[in-house]
Every structure is written in C-alpha cells, then in structure tokens.
Structure 1
Amino acid sequence: MHAPTADSGDRDDYLVSRPRAWFAFAMTFALMLFDYIDRQVIVSLFPHLKLAWSLSDKQLGALVSIISVVVAVGSLPVALLADRVSRVKSICVMAGIWSLSTIACMFTRNYGQMFAARAMIGVGETGYGSVGAALIASLFPKRLRSMLLGAFFAAAALGSVLGVMLGGVIAARWGWRAAFGAVGVPGLVLALLYLWVPDYKTVALTSSSDPAGKQPSARQFFGHVAAILTQSRTVWWTCLGAALQLIVVSTVWAWLPSFFNRFHGLDPHAAAKQAALIVLCSALGNFVWGFIVDRLAARRPRNKLFVIATLCTVTLAVFLVAFAGVTDARLQLPLIALGGFLMTCSAGPAASIVLDVIHPGVRATGAAVLAVFQNLFGLAVGPFVGGAISDAWGLHVALTVMPAFGLAAAGCFLLAVRHYETELHRVASVQMQVARPAGPATASTSRASA
C-alpha cells in the first residue's frame, strides 16, 4: 500500500490564516501547561502531606491517579459534545473548573477533602487534551501534526516541571497550601482569553448524497459515531500502546521526587528540583521525537509506528540499567535523564496517528478515545500501582519494574502498522471550514482537507 501524496488531491494547508492558527496553538499550549501545573504540583508536596496526615504511598499515588480516572470517565461525552457544539467554548468552561478546583485544594483539612478537590480538577480537565489536540490538528497542515502535537503534549511535561518546581519553592517559603492557590489563578485568566481562538465548523458525519434536510435520529447518530470510532484497528492498537507507555511516564513523574528524597538524601525542595530536570528532559523529548517522526514518515507514514516502537523498547533498557544496575548518583542521574528524554516518544506521534485516521466530524471524540486509554489505563495506573509496589517491596523496586510496560507498548504499535496506511485513505477527501469565532475576532472562510 502506497502512502497518500500531494498528487492524489489530498490537500495539506492551513484552515485559517497562519497568524490565527499559531495564536490558537499558543493559547492551547498555554492552557495545557497550566493543566499539568495544576495536576502535578501535588507531587512535590508528597513529603509534606505524608508528614501532615500520616499517608501511605498508595494514598499519595491515588491523589494523582484520581484525576486520570475522572478524565477517562468523562472524556468521550465531553469531547462528543464539543465536536457537535463548540470546541472553544467547551475549553473555556473546562479551564475555569479545573483552576477553581486547584485553588480549593488550599482550603482542605484532611485527606478526604483533598481527594474530592483533586477529583474536581479531573472534572475540569475532562476532554481538554482531546479537544485541544483536535483543534490543533484541524487548523494546521497534516505535514506538521506529529511535531505540533508533540509540542502540545510537551506542554504537559513542561507543566509538570513547573508544577514540581513551583510546589517545592512555594511550600518552602509559604507552606504547602499556598502552592495550590498560586498555580490556580492564571488558568482563570487564560480561560477568558481563549474566547478569541478560532474554531472550525462542525463537520457532517453523513455523506453529501443523503437526502437534503434529512436529520438522523439520535439512535442513528450515535450508531454512526460508534461505527466510525470502532472500525479502525489502527486507533485501538495505537490507543493501547500509548496508554502502556504512559504507565512508564506517569510512574517516573510521580515518584522521582520521593526517590531522590529517600535514596539520595535530598530535602523535599532539592528533590523536587532534581526531578524537575528529568521531567524537563521529557518535555524536550516530546517535541524532538515528534519532529523526527514527522520527517521519517514524510514518504512512508507507517514509519511513525516503527520509530516509536523502537524508542519504547530502548526506554525500557535505559531505565533497567539506571535503576537496577547503577547506584552511583553521578552515573544514575544522566541515565534517568536519558530515559526521561526517550519515554515521551509516543505522545505526539500517537495522537497524530489517531487523528490521521478518524473522520473530522468526530475528531475530538476520536482523540477522547485516546484520552480514555491514556488516562484510565496509563496515567491512572502508574502512580497508584507504583505506590502499591513501593509499599510492598520498596520504591526502588517499583521504579525498576514499571518500565517493563514499554515493551508491551512497542508490541501494540507494531500491530497497528498493518492497518495505518490503508485507513489514511478513508478520510483523505473530507473538506473542512472555519467557524465563526466565539470572541470578537473575525474569521476567514478558507478551506482545507482533513
């Protein structure tokens, strides 16, 4: 099977003007940044919470995992609503909810209240990654998707870095409660500014040959959506592979501050800064691997899957050496940093692969399927299972064992290879238009293919 080319009539252009497309990317990136600042700020506060409320590692891990569970449960309905109504307005509401919930964490007085407030952050974040990714994928040319989505998801890593660092610095000076308030307010401002971001018109799910004016029943509509989402084997194998690799990522992100605190004797503030450097390497890897994958797949799209499968396997090898074979901190830290750089290899390319083969009429919903897998079977698993293993056998064992999920991820990406290029052709001719903006900016009427 040959890859689609420009000669096949498959246009590859911006949906809106370049300045407006890049403004949309900048705003979506900024909100993703604060999404993960709010989500991960608690990681550097683990030592404080453990001391204040006598919590186990499993309980601490649950404060991270609960957000991913809630996001997974709500992603599909929220994204489907955004697909059929407005992506921009939906994002404004989401950002407002998660920011207010983060601020509420500073007023909690026990573990139960903190757990509930963290769950509400998940309610706000439900659907954001999938809706934001769909918006970026639709406004920009396909040739840039892996790179831009890699950069978009790099905001998650950068936000995690800032969350860990800010949490440690603010807690050291003003106490751990102040950290939640300090990171929650900026998201409210960005939520209002997001109304100026351009959106694209809702795309009909039925063909143009359907009788004019005929509206499908609710049952027909949801049946059609389900058929679109379930017919792609590429989507399902890619979603599973992305989730398994995120088990590795979420475990490392959640437990590195505690690892440096317990095994290298660093105080919580210093441990947070050390862990932030590793997460920064992850952010760089997000962008770099997205860029490299786009270049290697320019002539043969299936190369995306081969490359990330290889990188997932290499990540496992690096972490095994780092945690099981090296004890000298001077050697261990560079190896962990290399593993951090490698482990986010699949974030941008996986989203790009899913969005490539999903009908544009349910693009956010298709991305939500990926988000469900990533959050429920990836981000939620790592911190909690890693904490449980740590309680039973020690944190060092947990960080040694958990990267093995990357090998299973590689297998899933290789299984997706057989179907990817065939499914690309199914949506190659679908046309899209820019919608009237939610804010006062004016829209162009440019068109682009899916």
Structure 2
Amino acid sequence: MKSHALPAEEVPGRPGRAVAGSRVYPWIVFALTFGLLLSDYMSRQVLSAVFPFLKAEWGLSDSQLASLTSVVAMMVGLLTFPLSILADRWGRVRSLMLMAIVWSGATLLCAIATGYGQMLGARFLVGVGEAAYGSVGIAVVLSVFAPHVRATLGGAFMAGGSFGSTIGVALGGIIAVRFGWRWALALMAVVGLVLVVLFRFSITQRKLDRYQYEEARAAVGEPEGTRAPLSSLFSNVSVLSAYLGSGLQMFVAAVLLAWTPSYLNRYHGMNPDEAGIVSAVLVLLIGAGMISCGAITDRVSRLRPERKWTTSTGYGVAAAVLLGTGFQLGESTAQLVVIGAGAFFSAGASGPATAMVANLTHASVRASGFGALTLANSILGLAAGPFAIGLLADHLGLLGALQLAPLAYLGAIAALLIGKRRYPAALRQPAAHDQRASA
C-alpha cells in the first residue's frame, strides 16, 4: 500500500522531486504559456484604451462601454469550469491552442465591427475563447515545477493578466491615436496567432509528461474510477473561502484595469494616449504586486502553511486603506502615487489563493479546481467589478463610483479569515482520496 501524507509543500524540508533531470524545458513551458496569457489579456483589455473613441463614434453610454468589458469576463466565468473539466479529460495542451485560436479570431472580428451589437457579439466570442485558458494554463505550468514555489509561480502567472493589460492598454492607446482604433484591435489578434504557432511546435503532452513532478505525474492517465470526484472541489470550507476571497479581491483590481484610462481622461484631463501610458504604469504595479506578494508568501509560509491566509488578509487591508484614501484626494500627482500604492496590493492575494487551491485539490482534477477559482475571479471580480462601477457611474459619476469600490475588500478579508481557521484539516482531504482509492 502506498504511503500518503500532506502535500509536499506543506511538509517542511521535503520538496517535491522532478522525474527528469533538466529544468530548462519547464521554463520554456512557462515562457510560451505566459506569452499566450499576455495575448489573452492584451485582446481583452485593449478595448479600455479605445473607450473614448467608441463613445465618440457610436455614442455609447458608460454602462454600454462597461458591458463590452464585462461580457468577456461573464463568459469566462460561465464557461471556465466546464471547459476546465473538458481539458482535464481531452488534453490540456490541445485545449490551450484551440482557445488561443478562438480568441484571436474573435478579436479580428472586433476590429471590423460596425456598431455596438456586432462589437458585443465579437466580444462574447473573445470570452468563449479565453474562458479556461488561465485555469488550464496554470495547471500545465505548476505540473512541471516544485510545489514549494506555487504561490510565486501562481502570482507570476496571474500577473500576466496585468502585464498583458498594460501592453494592451498602452500600445492600444498609442496605435488608436495614430492609426485608428481598429488597427489597435487587429494587432492584438495577430500577436495571438503568431504565439499559437510557436506553442504548437514547442510544447507537446509527451514532453510535458517527462518533466512532471511526482504528484502531478501520478494523476496522468489514471482510470476514471481513481479520479477525485468533482464534488471534492467544493467539499470544504477552506477551499470555498479561497474562491470567495480571491474573487472579491479581484473586484477592485478589475475596476482599476477597466476604468483607469477613462478616469484619467475625465478628471485629470489627459488625452487617450497619455491616459493609456499612465494607466499602463498603474496596471504594471498590479502585476508587480502579484509577483512580489506571492514570493513573500512562499517565503514566510514555508514552515507555517497557514500564513498564506495571514499574508493574503494583510494585502487586502493595505489595498483597501490606500485606494480608499487615494480616491478621496484631489486630482494631483500625490493622489496617483497613493492609488498606485494601493494598486500594488490590490491583487496580492492571487498567488497565495492559487497555492491554496492547488494544495486543497487532488492532482487529477487540479485544472478543474483552478477553473472554479477562475469562475469566482471572473463572476465576482472581472465581470461584476467593471459593470457595477459603470452602473454606479451613470448615477454618481465615475469618481463617486470609484470611491465605493474598495468596500469589496471587506468581504474578501472576512472570507480569508474563515478559511484560515479550517485550513489544517482541509489539507488532509486530497490525501484521503488516495488512501480510499488504494484500499
């Protein structure tokens, strides 16, 4: 009978062991998977940079503009979980390539849209293509790296959303001013298609199998009867708290991603290209915060796993205070500095939440677990955040709506505190499934 224990990351001094010697190929996997994630968010967020052009050309309201962003996040939320389950069974590598082809093609359709209805339909398809990329992509990446760096890699991978948004908003604003907003969208589509070709000739499932760590390798090719049930993804309070806490902290980060260019244009009097560049710096801070907060969490929680929850709570408190203060200040450089500091911590819990879910779910359904996490991030954060602020802005003005946004952190902090209390017991559930399967 096999011996089972807590996940390797949670046992001090016992890191996971790779089954292959060379560690170069895993970084190739990370680079190309991360590159496609950049393309994902470039295609998603470039529209924020051209909001002023669409508003002027088509006469759209703020709520209509918000819907063009939120429809993508909504489809990601609705389809992430079922498509992640499908990818766990059909093949993660093939799924990633198909997703990238769909969202890149849909972005080309956005570039030739002639009105709000066509643009909304094309953005719907962008959301379908992007739906499960984050959950399946991070499952592929974590499978070829040691478990004790999960928060760092999770934060770095999810920071790709911020970096992709930075590139999309900044580059999109510059191209839109000089060549027109349609060319900005077309460029994002071409970048995605080029990366698909590189991914196709560099990454295969056979190569991935050679470099997987023992925990992930054990789950590859398991008979259906030995796979953990999908109900295990929702069977304990800690994993549910991780989903909820992560989703609510993404609410404010999503608001910053979507509405910062418009805020700078309206209240600081910046042109769209200037607002795009300044917004890019702010979004870059969000990504830097994800990586830094993930690395800090891995370091302080190496011997005390429950500290993942403590650091995540601290990041939420810092972001709430800084952003709440920043949007109360008058329009000035000092205000942007305070908002930038808040942006740094705004999604700091993303990496730790990824590590929590990885440790609380069985390897055979881990992409599905990340799908459930992405579902929470999308529905509670990426979809709800921009749309809710858009609706509030129609009545209170954009600044008034942004001043209320940091209140979402109160729910995130409460969820994380609850999850921390149940974490030690919840960690034993994945191992318990293996014990039952081998009995």
TM-score with structure 2 setting the length: 0.90
Matched pairs, number: 420
Query: Aligned match of 2:38 in 27, 33, 36?
Result: 33
**1:261 and 2:270 are equivalent in the alignment:** no
Q: Deviations over 1:241-267 (max 9, x none)?
A: 111111101111111111111111111
**How does 1:43-442 map onto structure 2 within 5 Å?**
43-195=48-200, 196-197=202-203, 198-200=207-209, 216=225, 225-324=229-328, 326-427=329-430
SS in 2 for 1:245: helix
Alignment of 1:19 with 2:24, yes or no, is yes
State the AA in 2 paired with 1:371: T
- Residue identity matched to 1:300: R
Task: Find the aligned partners of 1:116 and 1:104 in 2 and give their Cα distance.
Answer: 9
Question: What CA distance in whole angstroms lies between the structure 1 residues aligned with 2:130 and 2:253?
Answer: 19
Superposition deviation, residue 15 in structure 1: 5.0
Q: For structure 1, which segment, 119-128 or 229-238, has the greater mean C-alpha deviation from structure 2 after superposition?
A: 229-238
CA shift, 1:204, in A, is 7.7
Counterpart contact for 2:242–2:419, Cα < 8 Å:
yes
Q: Which letter does structure 2 place at the counterpart of 1:159? A: G
C-alpha spacing 1:9/1:155, structure 2 compared with 1 (3 Å) = closer
Distance 1:264 1:225, change over 3 A: same
CA drift of 1:106 comes to 0.8
Tell me how far apart the structure 2 counterparts of residues 367 and 319 of structure 1 sit (CA, whole Å): 28
Q: Which moved more, 1:365-374 or 1:328-337?
A: 328-337
Mark the CA change 1:77 to 1:23 in structure 2 (over 3 Å): closer, same or farther: same
Give, in angstroms, the shift of residue 46 of structure 1: 0.5
Unaligned runs of 5+ in 1: 432-450
CA contact (8 A) 2:7 2:359 kept: no
Q: Alpha-carbon deviation of 1:85?
A: 2.4
Q: Scaled by the length of structure 1, what TM-score is found?
A: 0.88
SS at match of 2:381: helix
Q: 1:7 to 1:108 in 2, by over 3 A?
A: closer
Between the aligned partners of 1:118 and 1:47, the Cα distance in structure 2 is 17
| Matched letter for residue 284 of structure 1 | A
Give, in angstroms, the shift of residue 199 of structure 1.
3.2
Partners of 2:141 and 2:218 in 1: how far apart? 19
Which digits, 9 at most, give the CA deviation of each residue in 1:64-106, with x for residues without a partner?
1101111111111211111122111100000111011111111
**Letter matched to residue 233 of structure 2:** L
Letter in 2 for 1:309: T
Looking at structure 1, the residues matched to 419 and 11 of structure 2 have their Cα atoms a distance apart, in angstroms, of: 26
Match of 2:3 in 1: none
Letter in 2 for 1:199: L
Do the aligned partners of 2:9 and 2:302 also contact (CA within 8 Å) in 1? no
The structural deviation recorded for 1:232 is 2.6
1:438 corresponding residue in structure 2: none
Q: In 1, Cα distance between the equivalents of 2:361 and 2:170?
A: 37
Q: CA deviation at 1:4?
A: 6.5
- Partners of 1:192 and 1:90 lie apart in 2 by 14
SS of the residue aligned with 1:168? helix
Q: Deviations over 1:172-221 (max 9, x none)?
A: 11100110111111211212322322434887879x9xxxx8x65xxx98
Query: For 1:380, what is the secondary structure of its paired residue?
Result: helix
Shift of residue 124 of structure 1? 0.5
User: Which string of whole-angstrom CA distances, capped at 9 and with x for unpartnered residues, describes residues 395-445 of structure 1?
Assistant: 1111110111012101111111122232323435999xxxxxxxxxxxxxx
Q: Which moved more, 1:363-372 or 1:14-23?
A: 14-23
Structure 2 CA distance for aligned equivalents of residues 235 and 141 of structure 1: 21
Contact preservation (8 Å) 2:8, 2:148: no
**What 5-or-longer segments of structure 2 have no aligned partner?**
1-5, 435-439
Secondary structure at the counterpart of residue 300 of structure 1: coil
Contact 1:243/1:374, CA 8 A, preserved across alignment = yes
